[in-house]
């Protein structure tokens, strides 16, 4: 294979378009850096610049409008080979659409170079204004001149974390600037200023490119950041997600003859989900099948916290709970959240803290002081009380489910035992 970056096909651009010298200077710079064609992955966006693929001896990837930088970012992450070079051909329109992708690649300092062909308008689609069109520049959609100030893509990329950025005239020999960009380890961006010969020149008669750039307040230049780390090496985590699971073999007995559904509800921060897990694990240790899910408002630290639990001697398929057998309420938040359900129920047992009003319901009522042990453990004590009162589960299974670790040491195990002994 040829060592030339460009093949023998003629470059497909309009007469006078700076895309042609940009393509030639890109090839010249890559070759000057010592890159062979298969060292280079050229990722092109949608636009006139993007039809360069067929003229390249490099690997080529042709993506979606505005997304080439993100696509190339993925290539750069996956390659992780410093001897390779990922370059992006994108226009000012694509850079506008995919601005976030440029900022993100710069932020991560990914090893790649973005070549922004800024001819100040969307060329392929008919000469419309882009986010990089200078104020006052005339396009097919801004006949009187663009009324908006453009992005400074170099400043944005640099502030986001790029290692090297440059703004250069696309119709000159830019190869030295491109060499610097291609030799940069990390993210580099070169904004190549042009005027589209088909849509830009005729609508802005007599205006020189250099004047437009100067009036736009976008000086040519090079800007650097000190070299810094790009994508860090990803640690080989590969933690087997099943290996760390603690099996709960059956070693207690239970008195559950059919699937029962239970709602446990209280306040956020009062251990509802912990209590739910303790109950579930205790049931498993008793040979039951279990389902468990939590429910709470998006602001997880306030308001209600609810758990739905099914316990069954047989495998559980359907875990939805519309008509629970037991509802355990340990706080006003829990009561408020379940009030309509409780009021509509014709059966079942309601365990409710003595501090709370008893709703109008057909449920059997069991009142007890759950909060006396302390609000943070009200729900936990409630499930112990539930097991003791119903006899469905051995409270020994619940104590065993509390575990032995640091977290368990903070739980009021002795207080719970004493409270149960007093029943």
Partner 1 sequence: MHVEPTPQPTLIDASRLVIEAMARAGADAFIGYPITPANHLYRYASERMPMMMPAPDEITTVQWMTGLGITGKIPVTATSFPGYALMVESINMAFMMEIPMVIVLVQRLGPATGTATCGAQGDLLLLRGTISGGHPLPVLATSSFADAWTLSAEAVKLAVRLRTPVVLLTTKEEMMTAKSYDVSTLPPITPTALDTYGGDAPYCTYAVDDPHGVPRFLPAGNDRHQVRYNASTHDPCGLLQHTSPAAMANTRRLENKIRHNLASFTFYDYDPQQGAATLVVAQGICAAAAKDAVMALRLGNKAVSLLIPKTLVPVAPVYFEMMAAYERVVIVEENINGQLAELFFGAQPPAQVRTLGALGRMITPAEIIAEVEA
- Residues of this chain that bind partner 1 (CB under 8 A): 1, 37-38, 41, 43, 46, 51, 53-54, 57-64, 67, 70-79, 81, 84, 100-101, 104, 234, 236-242, 245-250, 277, 280-281, 283-284, 287-293, 295, 298, 316-320, 322
Least CB distance from residue 215 to partner 1, whole Å? 34
- Cα 352 to Cα 152, 323, 336, 369, 372: the distances in Å are 63, 17, 12, 8, 13
Least CB distance from residue 326 to partner 1, whole Å? 18
Residue among 47 and 134 whose Cβ is closer to partner 1: 47
What is the Cα–Cα distance from 89 to 49, expressed in whole angstroms? 6
Least CB distance from residue 122 to partner 1, whole Å? 17
Collapsed DSSP state (helix, strand, coil) of residue 340 = helix
Would you state the structure tokens that stand for residue 186, as one six-digit string? 């990390």
Least CB distance from residue 209 to partner 1, whole Å? 29
Least CB distance from residue 292 to partner 1, whole Å? 5
Q: Which of 89, 49, 195, 88 is nearest to 133 (CA)?
A: 195
Residue among 217 and 320 whose Cβ is closer to partner 1: 320
Residue among 96 and 146 whose Cβ is closer to partner 1: 96
Collapsed DSSP state (helix, strand, coil) of residue 32 = helix
Least CB distance from residue 99 to partner 1, whole Å? 11
What is the Cα–Cα distance from 150 to 165, expressed in whole angstroms? 17
What is the Cα–Cα distance from 115 to 40, expressed in whole angstroms? 14
What is the Cα–Cα distance from 418 to 303, expressed in whole angstroms? 30
Residue among 219 and 239 whose Cβ is closer to partner 1: 239
Least CB distance from residue 247 to partner 1, whole Å? 4
Residue among 107 and 225 whose Cβ is closer to partner 1: 107
- Cα 317 to Cα 281, 311, 376: the distances in Å are 18, 12, 33
Mark out the alpha helices in 184-287 (DSSP H runs).
209-215, 272-285
Least CB distance from residue 337 to partner 1, whole Å? 13
Residue among 41 and 192 whose Cβ is closer to partner 1: 41
- Cα 80 to Cα 33, 61, 70, 89: the distances in Å are 19, 17, 16, 20
Would you state the structure tokens that stand for residue 133, as one six-digit string? 């069109």
For 288-378, list the strands marked E by DSSP. 289-295, 304-312, 326-329, 349-353, 364-368
- Cα 266 to Cα 149, 291, 334, 343, 353: the distances in Å are 55, 19, 4, 17, 10
Q: 């040491």: which residue's tokens?
A: 409
Residue among 39 and 135 whose Cβ is closer to partner 1: 39
Would you state the structure tokens that stand for residue 65, as one six-digit string? 């409008």
Residue among 99 and 350 whose Cβ is closer to partner 1: 99
Residue among 29 and 43 whose Cβ is closer to partner 1: 43
């Amino acid at each position: 294979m040829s060592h030339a970056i460009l093949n023998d096909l003629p470059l497909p651009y309009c007469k006078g378009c700076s895309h042609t010298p940009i393509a030639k200077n890109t090839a010249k710079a890559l070759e000057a850096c010592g890159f062979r064609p298969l060292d280079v992955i050229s990722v092109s966006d949608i636009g006139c610049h993007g039809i360069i693929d067929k003229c390249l001896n490099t690997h080529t990837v042709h993506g979606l409008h505005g997304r080439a930088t993100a696509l190339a970012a993925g290539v750069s992450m996956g390659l992780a080979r410093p001897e390779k070079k990922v370059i992006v051909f994108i226009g000012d329109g694509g850079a506008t659409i995919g601005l976030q992708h440029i900022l993100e690649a710069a932020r991560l300092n990914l090893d790649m170079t973005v070549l922004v062909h800024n001819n100040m308008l969307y060329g392929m689609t008919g000469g419309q204004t882009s986010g990089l069109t200078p104020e006052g520049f005339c396009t097919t959609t801004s006949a009187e001149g663009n009324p908006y100030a453009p992005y400074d893509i170099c400043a944005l990329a640099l502030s986001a974390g790029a290692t090297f950025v440059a703004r250069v005239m696309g119709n000159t020999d830019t190869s030295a600037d491109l060499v610097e960009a291609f030799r940069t380890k990390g993210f580099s961006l070169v904004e190549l200023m042009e005027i589209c010969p088909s849509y830009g020149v005729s609508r802005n008669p007599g205006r020189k490119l250099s004047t437009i750039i100067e009036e736009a307040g976008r000086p040519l230049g090079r800007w650097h950041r000190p070299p810094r780390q790009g994508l860090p090496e990803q640690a080989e985590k590969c933690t087997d997600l099943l290996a760390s699971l603690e099996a709960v073999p059956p070693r207690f007995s239970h008195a559950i003859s059919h699937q029962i559904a239970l709602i446990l509800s209280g306040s956020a921060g009062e251990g509802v989900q912990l209590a739910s897990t303790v109950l579930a694990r205790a049931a498993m240790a008793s040979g039951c099948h279990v389902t468990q899910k939590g429910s709470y408002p998006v602001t997880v630290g306030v308001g209600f916290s609810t758990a739905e639990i099914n316990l069954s001697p047989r495998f559980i398929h359907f875990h939805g709970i519309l008509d629970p057998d037991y509802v355990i309420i340990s706080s006003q938040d829990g009561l408020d959240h379940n009030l309509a359900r409780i009021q509509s129920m014709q059966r079942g047992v309601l365990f409710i803290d003595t501090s709370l009003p008893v709703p109008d319901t057909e449920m059997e009522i069991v009142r007890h002081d759950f909060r006396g042990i302390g609000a943070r453990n009200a729900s936990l004590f409630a499930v112990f009380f539930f097991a003791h009162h119903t006899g469905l589960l051995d409270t020994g299974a619940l104590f065993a489910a509390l575990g032995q670790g640091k977290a368990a040491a903070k739980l009021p195990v002795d207080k719970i035992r004493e409270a149960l002994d007093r029943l």
